[in-house]
Structure 1
Amino acid sequence: MQGLFNEPIDLNLPDSTIRYYPKFLAPEKATEYFNSLKDRVVWQQDNIKVFGKVHAQPRLTALYANNELPYSYSNIKMTPHQFTEELLRLKNKIEDIADCEFTTCLLNLYRDGRDSNGWHADNEKELGKNPIIASISLGAERFFNLKHNTDPELKTKILLEHGSLLLMQGKTQHFWKHQIPKTAKPIGERINLTFRIIE
């Protein structure tokens, strides 16, 4: 049963179903998860090609799953590690809200404000027709920007808090792109866990 303080905020954006749970994890529990995941996850830094030039991806990543299915995006192909007990606990907690069974978790470690994730949609074919993406934020707060694909007036941003959950589903990925922009402000580390279903 979800407590009163974990009631979702519906972003009420056209062509989307996006809900935000600011208090998904208690602060002390979120800090425990952050510290443990930072130390225990097998982080990697892949190269990415942008406008014909190869750069180190501006964040660290890791892929975990309950299967051996790879995940590919931006010409990067990742092979999963098996879910840890901690990731399974978080997965089960999200599934109670999302009413689905996730197979895979892509994790991102943003080391400081220079680390970022550019405009994109989670619309890879292996995610299915209407992907459901459940995103947990741990550590430093970062802005999450959204913009509509065809209406430049439709855009917004939300500050993702420590221990929060953002749930995107339905036709969201068909109509919206999102990003974590760079910031010049001094800012601490952030871990983002994005649970998804690989078909």
Structure 2
Amino acid sequence: MDVALQGSLLDLTDEMTLCDLAPGLRRTVIGMGAWVEVRPGWLAAGDDLFAALLHDVPWHAERRKMYDSIVDVPRLTKFYGAGERLPHPMLGAARDALSAHYRAELGEPFATAGLCLYRDGRDSVAWHGDRIGRSKDLDTIIAILSLGSARTLTLRPRDGGSIPGSSQKSLRFPLAHGDLVVMGGSCQRTWDHAIPKTTEPVGPRISVQFRVAGVR
């Protein structure tokens, strides 16, 4: 695979580790029962994890019908269902830490891991909500660990219009190497999110989305 990470520019420590979660979390209530939390630098020294996932995950190129054509999905993916062995022990440790932290609010542990590889700025994910399964009707929490080059997660109200209490149409959450972003409450039902394309010279990024069973 012809993508590479400028590792020395990202990590400032030598030992890969998950930092304390709670002290660095910042929650933003975005309206309509939804909230977003960001924990910058949750995973320290994640270059080795990025490299392992890049080379060891059996990345899959999807094609989907759009109008009258079959088009390539602009990213590579791999989904690990409940009970499947994850491709790296650090992902299991991250899932366990998230389950422990959010158990009281979520009511159950995180069970699955969906991985996406954005090879460069041309790769993206269009506006959508994770509304397949129980999340179509019920609140849930989805946690995303971002690895590699920085990209921006954008959110906008699902029904269009401005953000409640604001004239803005969307929110932007820049995500860097090792950052964690968590979307909770009604976020999947009342908001859409996206990773837009960019013309900036960005390198590859891997996102790891932790969800409960029965939610995609």
TM-score range, shorter chain: 0.7 to 0.9
Unpaired segments ≥5 residues, structure 1: 68-80
Q: Does 1:83 align with 2:79?
A: no
Are the counterparts in 2 of residues 66 and 83 from structure 1 also a CA contact under 8 Å? no
Cα deviation digits, residues 5-30 of structure 1 (max 9, x gap): 9521222211212111112111x1x2
Report what 2:76 is aligned to.
Answer: 60
Q: Does 1:32 align with 2:38?
A: no
Are the counterparts in 2 of residues 47 and 56 from structure 1 also a CA contact under 8 Å? yes
Q: Hey, what's the Cα distance between the residues in 1 that align with 2:86 and 2:121?
A: 28
Q: Does 1:20 align with 2:38?
A: yes
Once the two structures are TM-superposed, the CA of residue 86 in structure 1 deviates from its matched residue by 3.4
Percent pairwise identity: 30
Report what 2:141 is aligned to.
Answer: 132
Show the 5 A alignment for 1:42-61: 42-61=58-77
Report what 2:202 is aligned to.
Answer: 187
The one-letter code sitting in structure 1 at the alignment partner of 2:55 is D
Q: Does 1:116 align with 2:124?
A: yes
Report what 1:157 is aligned to.
Answer: 172
The one-letter code sitting in structure 1 at the alignment partner of 2:142 is I
Q: Does 1:197 align with 2:212?
A: yes
The one-letter code sitting in structure 2 at the alignment partner of 1:189 is P
Q: Hey, what's the Cα distance between the residues in 1 that align with 2:93 and 2:161?
A: 39
Q: Hey, what's the Cα distance between the residues in 1 that align with 2:41 and 2:154?
A: 20
Q: Hey, what's the Cα distance between the residues in 2 that align with 1:33 and 1:7?
A: 21
- How many residue pairs match? The answer is 184
Report what 1:171 is aligned to.
Answer: 186
Are the counterparts in 1 of residues 122 and 199 from structure 2 also a CA contact under 8 Å? yes
The one-letter code sitting in structure 2 at the alignment partner of 1:101 is P
**Cα 1:46–1:10, aligned 2, differ >3 Å: closer, same or farther?**
same
- Give the TM-score of the pair, scaled to structure 2: 0.78
Q: Hey, what's the Cα distance between the residues in 2 that align with 1:4 and 1:63?
A: 25
Larger CA Rg, structure 1 vs 2: 2
Q: Hey, what's the Cα distance between the residues in 2 that align with 1:83 and 1:2?
A: 21
Q: Hey, what's the Cα distance between the residues in 2 that align with 1:89 and 1:39?
A: 20
The one-letter code sitting in structure 2 at the alignment partner of 1:45 is A
Are the counterparts in 1 of residues 35 and 185 from structure 2 also a CA contact under 8 Å? yes
Q: Which one is further off, 145-154 or 171-180?
A: 145-154
Q: Which one is further off, 82-91 or 98-107?
A: 82-91
Report what 1:72 is aligned to.
Answer: none
The one-letter code sitting in structure 2 at the alignment partner of 1:51 is Y
Q: Hey, what's the Cα distance between the residues in 2 that align with 1:48 and 1:4?
A: 37
